[in-house]
Structure 1
Amino acid sequence: MNYILIGDSGHGKVIEDCIRANGHQVIAKLDDKYPSLFKVGPYMKGPIALIGNLLDEKTKVVISIGHNAIRQKIIERLQLSEERYGTVIHPSAIISASSKIGYGTVVMPNVVVNADSVVGNHVILNTSCIVEHDCTVQNFVHISPSAVLTGGVFVQEGTQIGARASVNPTVEIGKWTMIGAGSAVIQNIPDHVTAVGVPAKIIKERRTLNG
């Protein structure tokens, strides 16, 4: 399987490692910092608008950008059908057979997704994070490295859970919210806020999707 990465970034390097670990290859890295299409080693590089020059039936697309709102905007811009997007799962990840992983989602090394959890589309499950049983993680969420969602947690669209944060059982976190690194979430958190600390407390509203 061949892949095109949208976003030539550090995050993209980790995704490429996951792709290679599955025996596949990246053939192109597209980013609007490039003005035209050119070849560098094994890759084609160029602006995102030229994806049509490279995409064929044997190639999948992954958005290799960690910022949730930008990832969503690129999806809206590309207007590709869902089958064009690849789901990348590192071989070291442990994924329950009863869980579901959406298209365009990336599951990094040593991630655990336990029984009956549902992970949406274009989600990032970053290195060594844990999604326990019966969790729901909606589209465009980013669960940062070593963060832990305990059983029955519900994370709504576009939210980011910071590195090493933990979320107590059955807690619900709203849309486009940011949970700070190392925070402990013990009660529900609403939409469009930033919450940090132990226990996590709201410190500001997020007036735009960019925070």
Structure 2
Amino acid sequence: MKKIVIIGDSGHAKVISDIVNSNDDLSVYAKLDDKYQEVFVEDGLLKGPVSHLQELMKSELQIRVVVGIGSNVVRQKIVSNLGLSSEAYISVIHASAIVSPSAKIGNGTVVMPGAIVNADTNIGDHVIVNSGCVVEHDCAIGNYAHISPRAALTGGTTIGEGAHIGASASVIPLKTVGAWSTVGAGAVVISDIEDKVTVVGTPARVVKREGL
């Protein structure tokens, strides 16, 4: 059985714990978060600062890591700071999710309860495919993106690195959402969205650019 270390110990990490525990061959071994100053055991789980991961990786050959942080920017920063090999991370998929055999799921990506990932979709590393969202055929999702609950990506859409698709938002076929852009909750994307902007509404329109 693989022992899973979750980086982070907040609401998002709770959901990931449930996903891990839905898999018979995985178990949560530790939750590491820099809000903790020392190592301790609580409810059977090891807890402590993120720096303790180095000791765990040395002593436990079966350990795999997943970053349980909802913020795309923070998740990317943590992965960069940890400097682990890609093989150290595990993709965690809830038992109730439907994932096509032809879909590709990157390292450290989490697929949450009720999510659907259809044929020939390519999902990058450290992505959040959140509860009940739909990712249709032939989509491409970049590293560190977040597809929120009940969002719908229709066929052939492209989601850039670090982009955030809000709850119940939709992207129509063959459209692109640029890197590190945010699509607000309930928005409908009917044209390509550039990098590093926030869009809201139906149809989605730009309301903020980075730095403004």
User: Which amino acid in structure 2 is aligned with residue 130 of structure 1?
Assistant: V
Match for 1:97 among 95, 101, 106? 101
Q: How many equivalent pairs are there?
A: 208
Q: Is the 8 A contact 1:123 1:141 kept in 2?
A: yes
Match of 1:186 in 2: 190
Match for 2:54 among 52, 55, 70? 52
State how 1:16-95 maps to structure 2 within 5 Å: 16-23=17-24, 24-55=26-57, 56-95=60-99
* TM-score, length-scaled by structure 1: 0.97
Query: Structure 1, unaligned stretches of length 5 or more?
Result: none
Match of 1:146 in 2: 150
CA shift digits 1:162-196 (9 cap, x unpaired): 00000000000101000000000000000000000
Moved over 4 A (4+): none
The percentage of aligned residue pairs carrying the same residue is 50
Displacement of 1:159:
0.4
Q: Residue 203 of structure 1 aligns to a residue in which SS? A: strand
User: Which amino acid in structure 2 is aligned with residue 207 of structure 1?
Assistant: G
Q: Is the 8 A contact 1:183 1:196 kept in 2?
A: yes
Match of 1:159 in 2: 163
Displacement of 1:206:
2.2
- Farther off after superposition, 48-57 or 128-137: 48-57
- Farther off after superposition, 50-59 or 113-122: 50-59
RMSD, aligned CA: 1.0
* TM-score, length-scaled by structure 2: 0.96
Displacement of 1:207:
3.0
CA shift digits 1:126-156 (9 cap, x unpaired): 0000000000001000000000000000000
User: Which amino acid in structure 1 is aligned with residue 106 of structure 2?
Assistant: G
